[in-house]
Structure 1
Amino acid sequence: MKLVRLLILFVAFPALAQQGGMWIPSLLQGMNEKEMKSLGMKMSVQDIYDVNHSSLKDAVPQFNGGCTSEVISSQGLLLTNHHCGFGEIQSHSTVEHDYLTNGFWAMSQAEELPNPDLEVTFIVRIEDVTTKVLEGTQAIDEKARVQKIQQNIASLTKTLPKEAWQENSIRTFYEGNQYMLFVTESFKDVRLVGAPPSSIGKFGNDTDNWVWPRHTGDFSLFRIYADKSNRPAAYSKDNVPYKPKYFFPVSVKGVKENDFTLVFGYPGRTTEYLPSVAIDQLVTVLNPAKIEIREAALKVADGFMRKDKAIKIQYAAKYASIANYWKKWIGETTGLKKTNAVAIKKAQEKEFMARVQKAGKQAEYGNLLADFEKNYKAIEQYSLARDYFTEVALRNTELLTTAYRLYQLELVFKNKGAQAFTDRRENMIATLTEIYKDFNKNVDEKVFEQLIELYGTKMPKQFVPAAIAGADYKKLTAEVYGQSKLTSLDGVKELLAGDPAAAIARLNADKGYQLLKAMAETQTEKVMPKYDELNLQIAALQRTYMKVILELSPKEARIFPDANSTLRVTYGKVKGYEPKDATYYEPVTYLGGVLEKYIPGDYEYDVPQKLIDLYNKKDFGQYGEKGKMPVCFIGTNHTTGGNSGSPAIDAKGNLIGLNFDRVWEGTMSDVYYDPSICRNIMVDMRYVLFIIDKFAGATHLVNEMKVVK
């Protein structure tokens, strides 16, 4: 089967070509294997990915659709980040049993806590299905092409072979130039086993997020359960621990600079092949708007959380979620400016056009970059309006987010009738019952007041509804939160009760709902049609641009597909870096650094007394190194969101760390990877075992693992 070449063009950094790249694990033979061997890898690529025998990929499931995890025992013990399991830890926490503050450790399997709706998904096999997906797509317009591809994918997903308990999923690569089939199996009985207190698992909290040096024990433990045939099953007390095809040995040997590292996981989204005009728009227009909105929301929430413990528990996960990308966008923008990414992209584009000309393809591809320029200029105001609506209405103001859910329910009534409305209503109420458990009217009202003013004053004027444009925003906020039924679950139930037509009438009389509906209808009627039209044109250009890069790049180039939440391998080395002149960061941090940052009682930098005692006694067990306790290390692995919880693996396939972050100066690696400053951050497995064993006393969990010395 013909495979697209996996290469990448690094015009600016040819000497460092072995750094960077997110590679499909089934396609590592050849160039990638040679590179990994040259970096020190002792395994074969069959050890990493094999369909017929157990391999590393069999121990790396996706965790709940957004993170990565790894199996570390023959009894289905699962390791991921604390922040990946945070929602589950929070859901089991109360003021009386505050597992966020105090941690949780199941001292037997009977004490492990079930988690409804949590699942982990394993990859069974990966196949190239490009020819089948693109069948019948030649010589038709772009809209028809997209529809035909969707039809082909839907048909193939249903008909391609798999076991009854498995699923087929087809994903696009290289901007639609390649399609791969992923056969998966998902386990839905996943129980919480252990989590350190947040003073370890979130040490440094939002201040240290995306920052090095780092001292965070960002890990949590779960266990996969299966039916008695070792197959996926819904939660049942009769289920038994899953017997994995493969699990990782855990190394306590430690790391040193220039050691080989391989990170396996599910990176979410990168756009490495954007043209310079797109990056410039990101840096100067789109990121600044999103940063400002989230900064305002975070400031309000932080003020309430510092004063009220109950609110702190309610909003802990939400605050962390909002803060994560707020800080990431700041670092990304800074990094793109610092590395002169726009200028470097322009230089690459000049080289690209020279290759087009040399190949005699000027007539076919000579206008590509000019067309990018025209379309990105045209879409800018629509993209900005879309971001404002998404950030204000759908992500950061809970009353508006709830109203949008109800707006979708009204559309169900209009499009499908009363019965469909009634069927959907019960599910909606069940969903909102969970949401309102962590809703606080006072917090949300102050967030709304800040964000609705930004919406009214910073959104492109032609897309601001009359109810918001030029309003007295304090008065508008008081009216909405004083009159709307959406400030409580009982209020929502009252609006939705009884006859569907009457419920819709009550909704449309509600002040909060009216406001959201005006915002949503403006988006639907004025923003999204043109945005979708232009975005379709840009997507077609990007696909052609990618096709030409693949065709015309030299054989020694390295072109990897952008991340799309599918299983990938990235390899590199443990390595420090120089973020600015006369400043060098060592690649490993130690427990002494935790004590240097310690601020008693501070919600970011408090330290448990037992950890202090262990440090003072130097009671590190087999996990210490020359009288010091390693905590975190950094490497040149090319990671992004979705790699949270990814296993960091040594040259022989042993687990040495747990990926959880990137350095702030290098967060622009989603758009442009620069090996001089892009580093991923990993918890050292010695620290993970030290916390489980010496701090928590859960030695039975360490005994369950295969520890390699």
Structure 2
Amino acid sequence: MKLKVFLLSILFSFQVLEFYPHEGMWIPSLLKIIEGQMQSNGLELSADDIYSINKSSLKDAIVHFGGGCTAEVVSNKGLILTNHHCGYSQIQQHSTVENNYLKNGFWAMNFKEELTNPGLTATFIVSIKNVTSDVFKGSLNVDNSEQIIAENILKIQNEANEATGYKNVIKPFYYGNKYYMITSKTFKDVRLVGAPPSSMGKFGGDTDNWVWPRHTCDFSVFRIYANKDNEPSEISSENIPYEASASLDIKISGIKENDFSMVFGFPGKTEQYLTSKAVDNYINQILPARIEMRKSSLKYIDAAMDLSELNYIKYASKQSRISNAYKKWIGQDIGLRKKEALEKKINLEKNWISKNPANQNILDKLFLVEEKKIKYQLAYSLFIELWYYGPEIIRFSNGFNKLEKEKDFEEKSLKKRESIKNYFKNYDVNVDENIFKSLLPIYLKHLEDDLESPMVNSFIDKHQNINDYVEYLYEKSSWTSLKSTEKVLTNNQKKFGKILMNDPVSKFSLSIYNDFRNNILPKYRELEKEHDLLMRSYVKSLIETYPEKTFFADANSTLRLTYGKVEGSLPKDGITYNWFTTIDGIVEKFNTGESDYKIPNRLLELYNQKNYGKYGSGGTLNICFLGSNHITGGNSGSPALDSKGRLIGINFDRTWESTMSDILFDEAICRNIMVDIRYILWVIDIYAGAGHLISEMNLVKD
């Protein structure tokens, strides 16, 4: 009887923890811990083949692209692949009505035609080192432990920077229970080499975003350039293609259902260890407010983009940025509720406390802080939505405050006159005004009364309503056109300061920013810091309470590996997701006549000719496939690799049911979406005629 009770308690513990074999985003330097588990699932490599500091390994072909995506090296001449949506802003910046690379695609047929991208970077990871003991040195059982930890981190980083010549950053893992130093090397000359038309690279648009079946050609091609010594350099005509220390072999013989797969990249953020209170706050307060604000912005942006090609070019990148998270959040909300994330968190907490009643004290403290924090967390989220994703004029006007105080005002003013041209190139004042009118009421509705800006309220009170106030802003402000802004910038510093001080948009911008900086941000940071310290104790206790489980650290934009297999799913009653799609599905969608399913004539011609070359299989061409790899934002552009580490596709999305996996992973339904490498190669070689790029790559078969 005792044995039966014991076994039942163990079983309950596993159910509470949702212990999935494929769950987790693993730190590459720790792969030996799960090496046997991965190999039993089909991996044919060792942990050292994936990550090593003593020899070339797979990690040397993985690139942090632009700080927010992942890319992979596919030739010894620095050629890299990433997603179309990761390179989208660069493609847009090079596009004009005359040379519309967004619409028509772009292909450089030689090195000279490859396009530079100021500000775009490609970062390689040199090493990942556990420095926990050094970081904690002298910090135990003292009142100023956090200060000592911060000082230790700075000291270790500075010493490493001097010793290695590389950039060294120490990041906390498991809410500060562990610390790892990331040593990296960043290249600053990354050039656009190729991209399919947006009708292919964004095929399906918002209709298909986050859903399956998928037929998106989501890739773009860039090249890393270095100086003559093969070292990082600023953009220069003297630079040459980077001689890569490692590049991925590319498998063109295809994949099968249940094949081992892994994704290697830089996942941005997950929150697997949130308490039930935090999950409750998130799904019932944060998500509804952010979804409402983005929905309102998209209403006007989408309408404007449909009106003209010029508006489409202006707002294409902004629309993608806003709509991507908008649709994700809707799916996340549905998934978390359907899979009863809140109830599962409550059950975990009950089980955890039952094993040690003293744990109740940790949870009570966490709940208390989370109750205090939600007001400021919501205000913080609302500000982010208004300031960074709302009407552009708010942040644009704020950018002039620093200029007013510059000692070399005339020189800086002249530079500003040049930089604003690019801003207005992608700006429409009518669209911006409509967004302002729609977002400000939503912002004020969700904001707690005691956190509202008294100044902004006084501005609004002088008008009949918010609409009248916003119309007044755009009528009287100098920041609504290139001509009026340039005129202001021709004034001397004193006159410029006077105009700035009296501009109604500048007044609004400064008021809302100062209220955020003085009344919201400090309290939010204070409570966030208190919360994270308690989470450190909470996560430490979870790990100690359940020693049978191997816990992975939440994603934090550091290099991680996740593994699973090529497989479909049964997301809903009566619905089956097949594990792959083909080019036939592209044409089927095209034939519906929907605007998101347009394709170039050349694609249709090649389809009718069945011209798939060596990339086809069984009389068709595979397009996308599913896998049970645990990924998140930041994994966009990550290589999908087979059991031997060969490139089989590029990760670009999750199914809608899977967006909840940032908080709750469910192996039965969570699926990542990858574009098949054979489709990518076919587009480069046969569709675009850029076979010279294929000749750089190492294509292999089984």
TM-score w.r.t. length of structure 2: 0.93
TM alignment of 1:217-232, pairs within 5 A: 217-232=217-232
TM alignment of 1:226-625, pairs within 5 A: 226-357=226-357, 362=358, 365-407=359-401, 413=405, 418-419=406-407, 431-466=419-454, 467-468=456-457, 472-495=465-488, 500=493, 502-554=495-547, 556-598=548-590, 603-625=595-617
- Structure 2's unaligned 5+ residue stretches are 1-11
Partner SS state of residue 172, structure 1: strand
* Structure 2 Cα separation of the partners of residues 652 and 271 of structure 1: 31
Residues 20 and 666, structure 2, Cα contact 8 Å, conserved in 1: no
* Structure 2 Cα separation of the partners of residues 321 and 272 of structure 1: 24
Residues 24 and 568, structure 1, Cα contact 8 Å, conserved in 2: yes
Aligned match of 2:15 in 9, 12, 27?
Answer: 12
Structure 1 residue identity aligned to 2:390: N
1:559-590 CA distances to partner (integer Å, 9 max, x unpaired)? 00111100000010011111111111011011
1:260-294 CA distances to partner (integer Å, 9 max, x unpaired)? 00100000011110101101111111011000000
Give 1:390 deviation, angstroms: 1.4
* Structure 1 Cα separation of the partners of residues 77 and 260 of structure 2: 29
Aligned match of 1:89 in 85, 88, 91?
Answer: 91
**Which 10-residue stretch deviates more, 339-348 or 602-611?**
602-611
Residues 399 and 486, structure 1, Cα contact 8 Å, conserved in 2: yes
Give 1:240 deviation, angstroms: 1.5
Aligned match of 1:25 in 25, 28, 51?
Answer: 28
Residues 210 and 663, structure 1, Cα contact 8 Å, conserved in 2: yes
Partner SS state of residue 94, structure 1: coil
* Structure 1 Cα separation of the partners of residues 571 and 339 of structure 2: 11
* Structure 2 Cα separation of the partners of residues 529 and 245 of structure 1: 45
Residues 644 and 661, structure 1, Cα contact 8 Å, conserved in 2: yes
Structure 2 residue identity aligned to 1:665: E
Partner SS state of residue 419, structure 1: coil
Residues 322 and 396, structure 1, Cα contact 8 Å, conserved in 2: no
* Structure 2 Cα separation of the partners of residues 13 and 205 of structure 1: 38
Q: CA distance change for structure 1 residues 432 and 176 in 2, over 3 Å: closer, same or farther?
A: farther
Q: CA distance change for structure 1 residues 390 and 421 in 2, over 3 Å: closer, same or farther?
A: farther
Structure 2 residue identity aligned to 1:27: L
Q: Which residue of 2 aligns with 1:198?
A: 198
Residues 578 and 677, structure 1, Cα contact 8 Å, conserved in 2: yes
* Structure 2 Cα separation of the partners of residues 82 and 457 of structure 1: 37
Q: Which residue of 2 aligns with 1:42?
A: 44
1:644-690 CA distances to partner (integer Å, 9 max, x unpaired)? 00000000111001000011111011111111111111000010011
1:207 aligns with 2:207: yes
TM alignment of 1:61-100, pairs within 5 A: 61-100=63-102
Residues 81 and 220, structure 1, Cα contact 8 Å, conserved in 2: yes
Q: CA distance change for structure 1 residues 431 and 346 in 2, over 3 Å: closer, same or farther?
A: farther
Give 1:175 deviation, angstroms: 0.5
Structure 2 residue identity aligned to 1:586: N
* Structure 1 Cα separation of the partners of residues 41 and 577 of structure 2: 21
Residues 13 and 351, structure 2, Cα contact 8 Å, conserved in 1: no
Q: CA distance change for structure 1 residues 430 and 67 in 2, over 3 Å: closer, same or farther?
A: farther
* Structure 2 Cα separation of the partners of residues 548 and 16 of structure 1: 17
Q: Which residue of 2 aligns with 1:52?
A: 54
* Structure 2 Cα separation of the partners of residues 532 and 165 of structure 1: 33
**Which 10-residue stretch deviates more, 78-87 or 456-465?**
456-465
Partner SS state of residue 293, structure 2: helix
Residues 16 and 344, structure 2, Cα contact 8 Å, conserved in 1: no
* Structure 2 Cα separation of the partners of residues 521 and 484 of structure 1: 20
TM-score w.r.t. length of structure 1: 0.93
Residues 455 and 464, structure 1, Cα contact 8 Å, conserved in 2: no
* Structure 2 Cα separation of the partners of residues 179 and 426 of structure 1: 45
* Structure 1 Cα separation of the partners of residues 652 and 18 of structure 2: 28
Residues 496 and 504, structure 1, Cα contact 8 Å, conserved in 2: no
**Which 10-residue stretch deviates more, 193-202 or 227-236?**
227-236
1:41-75 CA distances to partner (integer Å, 9 max, x unpaired)? 11111110110110000000100100000000111
Residues 12 and 344, structure 1, Cα contact 8 Å, conserved in 2: no
Give 1:405 deviation, angstroms: 3.0
Q: CA distance change for structure 1 residues 196 and 334 in 2, over 3 Å: closer, same or farther?
A: same
Residues 166 and 183, structure 2, Cα contact 8 Å, conserved in 1: yes
Q: CA distance change for structure 1 residues 310 and 522 in 2, over 3 Å: closer, same or farther?
A: same
1:482-512 CA distances to partner (integer Å, 9 max, x unpaired)? 0011213444455456555553332221011
Aligned match of 1:632 in 615, 624, 638?
Answer: 624
Q: Which residue of 1 aligns with 2:173?
A: 173
Residues 71 and 79, structure 1, Cα contact 8 Å, conserved in 2: yes
* Structure 2 Cα separation of the partners of residues 456 and 423 of structure 1: 39
Residues 256 and 566, structure 2, Cα contact 8 Å, conserved in 1: yes
Structure 2 residue identity aligned to 1:402: F
Residues 269 and 641, structure 1, Cα contact 8 Å, conserved in 2: yes
Structure 2 residue identity aligned to 1:29: K
Partner SS state of residue 625, structure 1: coil
Residues 395 and 401, structure 1, Cα contact 8 Å, conserved in 2: no
Give 1:622 deviation, angstroms: 1.1
Give 1:101 deviation, angstroms: 0.6
**Which 10-residue stretch deviates more, 667-676 or 643-652?**
667-676
- Structure 1's unaligned 5+ residue stretches are 1-8
1:408-457 CA distances to partner (integer Å, 9 max, x unpaired)? 667xx4xxxx5388887677666544323211111101111111121233
Partner SS state of residue 644, structure 1: coil
Give 1:35 deviation, angstroms: 1.2
User: How many residues are matched?
Assistant: 685
Give 1:368 deviation, angstroms: 1.4
* Structure 1 Cα separation of the partners of residues 40 and 230 of structure 2: 39
Structure 2 residue identity aligned to 1:653: G
Q: CA distance change for structure 1 residues 229 and 301 in 2, over 3 Å: closer, same or farther?
A: same
Q: CA distance change for structure 1 residues 398 and 14 in 2, over 3 Å: closer, same or farther?
A: closer
Structure 1 residue identity aligned to 2:586: V
1:110 aligns with 2:98: no
Residues 10 and 17, structure 1, Cα contact 8 Å, conserved in 2: no
Q: CA distance change for structure 1 residues 140 and 120 in 2, over 3 Å: closer, same or farther?
A: same
Structure 1 residue identity aligned to 2:48: Q
1:209-243 CA distances to partner (integer Å, 9 max, x unpaired)? 11111100100001111112111111222222111
* Structure 2 Cα separation of the partners of residues 197 and 39 of structure 1: 38
Q: Which residue of 1 aligns with 2:8?
A: none
**Which 10-residue stretch deviates more, 523-532 or 367-376?**
523-532
Structure 1 residue identity aligned to 2:700: V
Q: CA distance change for structure 1 residues 602 and 584 in 2, over 3 Å: closer, same or farther?
A: closer
RMSD: 2.1
Structure 2 residue identity aligned to 1:279: V
